[in-house]
Amino acid sequence: MKIAIVGATGNAGTALLHALKDESQIEEITGIARRLPDRTAEPYDAATWQRLDVAAPALEAADDDDVIDLLSSTFAGLDAVVHLAWLIQPNQNRRLLRRTNVDGTRRVVQACLRAGVPHLVVASSVGAYSRVADDQPRDEQWEAGGIPTSHYAVDKAAQERVLSAGEEQGLKLRGCGRP
C-alpha cells in the first residue's frame, strides 16, 4: 500500500509515521508538510517528503489550482491519503486558521479526486457536531454545525461540509460518521 500523510510532522502525523514505518503492508509513505523535518531522524526517515503548505495564499484562482495540481501530482498512484493538517493557533489570525483548516481540506479533496486516490482518511472531531438541549445520546448522523462561538467547531463543521461535497463527487472517505 502506498500512502501520503498531509500534516506528517504534527503530533498525529508523527505518531502515524511511528505506527506505519514497520508495517509490512506499507510499501511507500510520502510525508507532506509546510516545514520539513530532519529526514534522517526516526520516524521521519520512513518517508519521502514533499514540502507544501495547504494554506498557501491564493491571490487568484490559478494560484489555488497550482496548489491542487502539485498535491494531485504527489497523490498520483497512491492507495490512500491521510489528511491531518490542522491549525488551532494563532487564535488572532482567523484568516490563516480558516485557510489551513477549511481551504486546505478542500484542496486535499480536490487533489484526491484529480489523482484518482481511492481513499481519503480525515481526522475529524466531536467538535463538528451541533449543540443539544438534553443529555440524550446522538449517533453519527447528528447535524455537524459546530458551536458558533468556537472557531475550532466552526471550522470542523465547515470541513465536514467540504468532505460531504467530495463524497458527492465520488471520493471515498473514512472519518467521523463514515464507514
- What's the one-letter identity of residue 80? A
- Give domain 2-174's CATH architecture: 3-Layer(aba) Sandwich (3.40)
- The domain limits of the chain are 2-174
- CA atoms of 55 and 101, how far apart (whole Å): 8
pLDDT for 140: 62
pLDDT for 25: 96
For 63, list phi and psi in degrees, rounded to 5: -65, -45
Other Cβ atoms less than 10 A from the Cβ of 75: the count is: 26
Cell 489550482, located at residue? 65
Provide the β-strand partners of residue 4.
Answer: 30, 81
Give how far Cα 126 sits from Cα of 6, 156, 175, Å: 21, 9, 11
Q: What is the pTM of this model?
A: 0.87
Low-confidence stretches of the chain (pLDDT < 50) are: 176-179
pLDDT for 179: 45
